[in-house]
Amino acid sequence: MKKLRQHITFKSISGIVLLLLVFSVIISVIGNHGFTDALLNQYSDNAFHTARIAAVVVDGDRIDEYWESGGETEAYRSVWESLTRLCNSSGATFVYVIEPDRTDYAHIRFLFSTINQNSHYSLYDFGYLRETTNDEYRVKYRALYEGESDQELVVRDKGYIETDPHITAMIPLKNSGGEVVGILCVQQQLDILLQARNTYLRRVVIAFFSLALFVVIGQSLYLHRALLHPLKQISEEATRFSRENVMADKKLQDTVRSRDEIGQLAASIDHMEEQIDLYIDNITRVTAEKERIGAELSLATRIQTAMLPHVFPPFPDRKEFDIYASMNPAKEIGGDFYDFFLIDDDHLCLVVADVSGKGIPAALFMMASKIILQSCAMLDKSPAEILKKTNEAICSNNQEEMFVTVWVGIMEVSTGKITAANAGHEYPVLQKTPNGKFELIKDKHGFVIGGMPETEYTEYELQMEPGTKIFLYTDGVPEATDEGNNLFGVERMLKALNEATDQTPIEVLQTVRASVDSFVNDAEQFDDLTMLCVEYKGKGSD
């Protein structure tokens, strides 16, 4: 934050100072020009005025006489004194009369030369001959002599090594015949102009620095008060909120108290905090709810699992058969189930079923189906009748059109004969000879339970020899899918089973399970996996 503050202040102030600087330079240049022009005009007017007065003093008709006087005659002295007085009183530096050589105007000769008493320059003697200092003079001398103009001005305001900045006003000196006989020059130093100009520039510089100082201090204070301090408060509040996740006692917009964009930012942060706060509350509530549902689901799963026979061996004192079954729901709770129970001493009822759909609805439907099936089974020893009655019971109260596929078989323990009926369920797999091959029994199918009222079911018989096994399952087994979306399939299931022809029911289930797991690998499973295997050992075996 410290660094940012310096950065913003520096940028803002340096921008303004730069602007001020540019402004000052422009003002100086414009002012300087205006000043120079105005003063030069004034100066040149003065100088020409002085020159015209001087022209009255010097008589053009007597020029030759002056030249011949050698600067000694009374008449010459009188004119010279008048010019000197004029020079002193007009404030001019020099007032002089010259005659250039008329061939190329490269030299001038001084006829009269007077100097201001306050000047530190010295006079040119009478008849002094010197070179014209530059071409501008030469051109202008010629212009005056040839009648092209009757006044010329030379401005040398930039400052020269040999002379200070000055202007020279020049007018032709004529005789009564109108002939140019000399040039009257009035030179005026520009010292006042320079002084004024320097004063002006100094003031601009002082004004610039005062303004810059004012801007630096003022802008720093303003930035601190209007921008940086509120920003710091906002930043601190944001940091605090992200750390504590609790809304502040005092709203940021009340602390910042600004109606500009900073105020809007503060209001936005306040609003964000409120929303996040609400969101956190919401999430907390939803999470709690989710946890509650999760806890209930796991309890429901335990209840559901407990409904199925899950203690193995289930009938420790019955040596005629060996049963093992397992159910692995894909979600926490599933719609598959298996069941087995003794209707009487000689009749073992086996059930494998699969409810349409999954999750809680399927589980609820499964519970109802299981209870109705068992109740019907206890009343009747005919699987077809059991299915028919179960179907009627479920159809009478099935608004959601749920259904369940059921394979039910009743084994006569004394003979190994199974009477079975199939309501839309997977084909059972039977081992016909001890340690022999498992084969799919393509039995006659009836419609699913809960689908249509008044459905009739047909039953059939299977004969189990001692040492053979029957394997029942739900579609979760053949329809287990791998990552490539390929189905495990009945063929792979049979292959796995045939690797386990001599195994006990629990081993058979483990073998099939291992085969499915290695096929599925890491793919997520969508269906329940339910299997039931019974080995018939025969009446005499112990």
Instruction: Report the interface residues with another protein, using CB under 8 A.
Output: 335, 354-358, 401-403, 405, 423-427, 445-448, 451-452, 475, 479, 526-527
Measured from the CB atom, the residue of 277 and 332 that comes closer to another protein is 332
Measured from the CB atom, the residue of 91 and 357 that comes closer to another protein is 357
Q: How many CB atoms lie within 10 A of CB 504?
A: 14
Phi, psi (deg, nearest 5) at residue 283: -60, -40
Q: How many CB atoms lie within 10 A of CB 19?
A: 11
Measured from the CB atom, the residue of 248 and 487 that comes closer to another protein is 487
What is the chain's Cα-based Rg?
Answer: 62
Measured from the CB atom, the residue of 100 and 335 that comes closer to another protein is 335
Nearest of 215, 304, 295, 250 to residue 12 by alpha carbon: 215
Measured from the CB atom, the residue of 347 and 445 that comes closer to another protein is 445
Contact between 111 and 98 under an 8 Å Cβ cutoff? The reply is yes
Cα-Cα end-to-end distance for the chain: 87
CB of 236 to another protein, least distance (A): 49
CB of 390 to another protein, least distance (A): 14
Q: Copy the structure tokens of residue 208.
A: 């610039």
CB of 11 to another protein, least distance (A): 56
CB of 428 to another protein, least distance (A): 11
CB of 528 to another protein, least distance (A): 11
Identify the three-state secondary structure at position 86.
helix
CA angle 205, 208, 212 (to 5 degrees): 145
Identify the three-state secondary structure at position 218.
helix
Measured from the CB atom, the residue of 110 and 473 that comes closer to another protein is 473
Contact between 12 and 227 under an 8 Å Cβ cutoff? The reply is no
CB of 230 to another protein, least distance (A): 52
CB of 356 to another protein, least distance (A): 4
Q: Copy the structure tokens of residue 432.
A: 């016909």
Measured from the CB atom, the residue of 49 and 331 that comes closer to another protein is 331
Contact between 311 and 323 under an 8 Å Cβ cutoff? The reply is no
Phi, psi (deg, nearest 5) at residue 508: -60, -45
